[in-house]
């Protein structure tokens, strides 16, 4: 009988650990009894067509992220949509154990040929910055409008902190290829010259394209969350709902967390932001947990199956 390789053992250890963490978090979620009571009282699950709309949007969310990953790698490795999709799903396994999903792009790069994995991880930085930039761009004015319109208490310095973060990300994103190109001339960085070259090859049009794909995906998962809130009987005006959801994702993005505990974090932040507009706390918590299950846990499970076969 052939002895398993160290990589095979590590692979199964990662998958089993991910499943154990997920099971623990699902079993220890503290609001199950409250959700069950609200459901029995007819306060939840009143509009099933919203659940159908969320499921219809689910593959589009994955598709835009797959297209973005394929576009980012096109000069390094030509991937089919199917291969890019597998990479994206596998990345969710590595993201599960790392703060703020920092391991996602190294995880995706596992599927790349030998010698291109580090370059793939480096290129993934652009995609991550583009998505964060999108969330920040929409989230800053949304947070300002939400807290000012409802006269909620907030720290007066917060808008300036977020504006500073946004401007810093904007400059870093669009200047990153130029910065990488300049750094190539330093002798001390010769060993990572091929990594810097991977970033330097992106043009302004390329960066704009990646940013637009990130924007489309952002619109999809915000719409999913809005539909889930209605599914759980959280009635929101479309305008104020959009403002609250954009604020919610802004806070989630800049809250340090581990992906396996993100369900509880998302539920808490949703109560903080959307709770300004609705008193249906249980519905908000249920929606926050559900969006985590749909957009991260399900892809992680799919990724674990693909990863197990590789």
- Residues 2 and 51: their CA atoms lie apart, in Å, by 47
Dihedral angle over CA of 119, 124, 125, 127, nearest 10: 150
Counting as low any pLDDT under 50, the low residues of the chain are 153-154
Token readout for 34 is: 């409250």
In angstroms, the CA 167 to CA 133 distance is 9
Give the pLDDT of residue 214: 94
- Is residue 214 within a helix (H) or strand (E), and if so which, with residue range? helix 204-231
Kindly report the length of the chain: 310
Instruction: Report the C-alpha gap between 69 and 108 in whole angstroms.
Output: 9
Per-residue tokens: 86: 């597998």
**Rounded CA separation 214/65 (Å):** 8
Cβ atoms of 161 and 291 within 8 Å: the answer is no
Give the pLDDT of residue 32: 58
Residue 80 tokens, joined: 């089919």
Residue located via tokens 């596998």:
90
pLDDT for the residue 97: 73
pLDDT tens, position by position, 64-90: 999 999 999 998 888 999 999 999 999
* Extents of the domains making up the chain: 29-309
pLDDT in the model for residue 209: 93
Tell me what pLDDT residue 72 has. 93
The confidence score (pLDDT) of residue 166 equals: 72
CA–CA dist 43, 233 (Å, integer): 7
The predicted pLDDT at position 125 comes to: 84
Position 217 scores a pLDDT of 94
Q: Give the CA-trace dihedral at 298, 63, 287, 274, to 10 degrees.
A: 140
- Give Cα separations from 160 to 140, 152, 167 (angstroms): 9, 17, 10
Of 265, 216, 254, 223, nearest to 241 (Cα)? 223
How would you label 101-125 residue by residue, b for 16+ Cβ within 10 Å and e otherwise?
Answer: bebbbbbbbbbbeeebeebbbbbbb
Q: Is the dihedral of CA 112, 113, 119, 121 positive or negative?
A: positive
Looking at residue 33, what is its pLDDT?
Answer: 65
SS3 116: coil
- Three-state DSSP class for residue 276: coil
Nearest-CA neighbor of 269 among 252, 282, 244? 252
Q: How far apart are CA 66 and CA 71, in angstroms?
A: 9
């Amino acid at each position: 009988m052939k002895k398993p390789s160290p990589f095979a053992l590590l692979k199964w250890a990662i998958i089993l650990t991910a499943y154990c963490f997920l099971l623990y978090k699902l079993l220890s979620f503290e609001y199950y009894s409250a959700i069950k009571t609200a459901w029995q009282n007819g306060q939840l699950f009143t509009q099933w067509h919203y659940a159908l709309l969320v499921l219809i949007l689910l593959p589009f969310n994955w598709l835009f992220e797959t297209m973005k990953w394929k576009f980012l790698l096109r000069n390094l490795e030509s991937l089919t949509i199917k291969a890019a999709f597998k990479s994206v799903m596998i990345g969710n396994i590595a993201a599960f154990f790392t703060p703020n999903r920092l391991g996602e792009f190294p995880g995706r790069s596992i599927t790349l040929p030998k010698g291109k994995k580090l370059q793939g991880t480096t290129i993934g930085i652009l995609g991550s910055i583009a998505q964060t930039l999108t969330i920040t761009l929409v989230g800053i004015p949304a947070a300002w409008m939400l807290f000012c319109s409802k006269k909620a208490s907030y720290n007066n310095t917060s808008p300036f902190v977020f504006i500073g973060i946004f401007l810093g990300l904007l400059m870093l994103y669009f200047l990153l290829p130029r910065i990488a190109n300049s750094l190539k001339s330093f002798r001390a960085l010769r060993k990572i010259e091929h990594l810097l070259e991977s970033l330097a090859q992106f043009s302004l049009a390329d960066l704009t394209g990646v940013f637009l794909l990130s924007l489309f995906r952002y619109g999809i998962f915000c719409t999913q969350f809005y539909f889930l809130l209605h599914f759980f009987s959280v009635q929101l005006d479309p305008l104020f709902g959009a403002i609250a959801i954009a604020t919610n994702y802004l806070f989630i993005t800049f809250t340090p967390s581990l992906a396996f505990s993100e369900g509880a974090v998302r539920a808490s932040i949703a109560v903080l932001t959307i709770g300004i507009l609705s008193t249906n706390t249980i519905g908000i918590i249920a929606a926050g947990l559900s969006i985590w299950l749909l957009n991260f846990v399900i892809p992680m499970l799919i990724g674990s199956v693909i990863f197990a076969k590789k």
